[in-house]
Chains A and B, each alone.
Chain A
C-alpha cells in the first residue's frame, strides 16, 4: 500500500467535501448553533453559579445527536456512489492505484473533513465559554468532543455502506436521510413500544438500546459527565449496576463496533464490485 497515493486521494476527498453545499450548510449550522447554545448557557451563569464547560457540554449533547449523524451519513453516502455515477471511478481505478488505497483515501478524507467540522463547532463554542467562564470542567467538554467524533465516524461508516450498495446518488441521499430518521426518531418510539408490549426486562431494554449508535453515544456521554444513569430509568440503573466502572469503556467498544463493522462490510463489497 502506498501512503502517498492514499494521501493524494484523501486530499481530493477533503476538497470535494469543502465544495459540497450540503456539507457546508450543515457545518455552518452546527457551528452557529453550538455558539448560540453556549451563549444561552452562559446567560444563567451568574444566577446559578454553574461552570460554563460542564453546563454547555450537556446542552450541546442534543445538538450533536441531531446534526452529527446526518453530517456523517450524507458525507459517506455521497462519497463513492457519486464517483461511480459520474463515471470518474473507472478512470480513477485505471490508474496505478489499488482498491484498498482508493477506499482508505476516501474514508480518511471524509473523516478529516468531518473531524474538522466538529472541531470548528466545538472550538468556536469553547472560545466563547473560555472568555466568559474560564476553563473549569473543560474535561467534560473534551469527553463530549471525543464521543462526538466516534458518533460521526459510526454514521460515516454507515454512509459508506449506503454509498457502496446503492447505485444512484439521489437514492443514496434518500437512504441516508431515512437511516438518520430511523435512528433519531423511530428507534426511540419503537423501543418504547416494544418494551411495553413485550414487557422487556431493564437488562434486555438496555442491550436493545445499543442497536442504535446514537443511544450508545448518549448513554456514554451522560455516564461520563454525570456518573449516574438515573435519567434512563430502570435500564440506566441496570447498566450502572451491571457494568459499573466498565460502562464507558463498554459503550466505547459498542461505538467502535459501529464504526468498524459497517466499514468492513462496505470495504468487502467495494472490493467485489467496485465499478460493476
Chain B
C-alpha cells in the first residue's frame, strides 16, 4: 500500500528524517511513536507530498512526487493542530472541502450528521470545542471515503470522554478495512488499535515491531 525508500528530509542544517525505509500493508494500522521533533509529522507531510523530500515514496503504486494529486485523492488527513478558515461556518468548511474532493453535497451532509455536527452547522468552525473540531477534521478526511487515513496526534487535545469516542471511531475505521497511520504519545491507543509500532527518534527509525512485542514503552518516551 505504502512504500518508503531512504526518505530523508532536511530543514536547512537540521535533518528531520534520515534515510527512513518503511512499508505499510493494506488495512494495516501503524502507530508512529516518538518524542516531539522525532519526525512524525514531517513523515506524514512527505507522504502527502506537501513538502519536498529526498528518497522515494509510493502510495498504491503511484509516485508521490510525480502523482501527488492522485495520491492525495486516496488519503484523508487529520492534522495535529486543527485550525479552520476564520469566518467560515462548519457547513461552509465541509462544503468547500467536498467541492475540492468532488464529493456530492448529500454525502457531505450525511457525514456531518453521522458525526454529530448537524446542530453546529451554522457555527463558525474556529469557535468549536476541541472535540468538535477533531470531528470536523475527521468528517473532512472521510468525505471521499479514502482507503488511507493519516491522523496526526488525533486525541492529544481531547478530554477523556471525547477521546474514548474517538478511539471507538478509529476501531470502526479499522474494521472497515482502512489503512491507518497515526502519530500518538499514548500507550493505550497503540495497544488497543495499532497492528504495528514504528518508533522514530531524531529522524531515525529506531524500532519497527508489533505492539505486544514491546515490553517497556517508557523506554521510548
Contact = CB atoms under 8 A, between A and B. Distances in A.
Contacts of B140: 91
Interface stretch (B45-53, B192-200, B213-221): B45-53
- Interface size, B (range): 20 to 34
A91 B101 contact: no
A226 interface: no
Contacts of A87: 79, 81, 83
Interface stretch (B66-74, B104-112, B165-173): B66-74
A90 B86 contact: no
Main secondary structure on B side of the interface with A: mixed
B97 A94 contact: no
A86 B70 contact: no
A96 B73 contact: yes
Interface in A10-45: 12, 16, 19
A47 B180 CA distance: 79
B100 A94 contact: no
B11 A86 contact: no
A12 B98 CA distance: 13
B52 A272 contact: yes
A98 interface: yes
Interface string B56-84: 00000000000011101101010101011
Contacts of B73: 96
Contacts of B187: none
A200 interface: no
Contacts of A5: 100
B79 A90 contact: yes
B76 to A, nearest CB: 9
Main secondary structure on A side of the interface with B: helix
B88 to A, nearest CB: 8
- Interface size, A (range): 20 to 34
B72 A96 contact: yes
Contacts of B99: 8
Interface string A88-111: 101111111110000000000000
B100 A275 contact: no
A88 B84 contact: yes
A97 B11 contact: no
Interface in A262-276: 272, 274-276
Given A87-B81, A276-B11, A95 B51 contact: no
Given A95-B101, A96-B70, A97-B69, A90 B96 contact: no
B100 A90 contact: no
Contacts of A12: 85, 96
Nearest to B84: A88
Contacts of B83: 86-88, 91
A166 to B, nearest CB: 18
B87 interface: yes
Contacts of B79: 87, 90-91, 94
A274 B77 CA distance: 18
Contact of B96 (A8, A94, A272): A8
A98 B71 CA distance: 11
Contacts of A274: 50
Contacts of B84: 88
Contacts of B11: 276
B86 A94 contact: no
- A12, A87, A90: residue with the most chain B Cβ atoms closer than 10 Å: A90
Contacts of A4: 102
Given A94-B75, A96-B101, A275 B85 contact: no
Contacts of B77: 91, 94
B187 to A, nearest CB: 28
Interface string A183-225: 0000000000000000000000000000000000000000000
Interface of B: 11, 45, 48, 50-52, 68-70, 72-73, 75, 77, 79, 81, 83-87, 96-97, 99-102, 140
5 contacts: A5-B100, A91-B83, A93-B48, A97-B69, A98-B69
The 7 closest A-B pairs by CB, nearest first: A87-B83, A96-B73, A94-B77, A93-B50, A8-B99, A96-B72, A19-B87
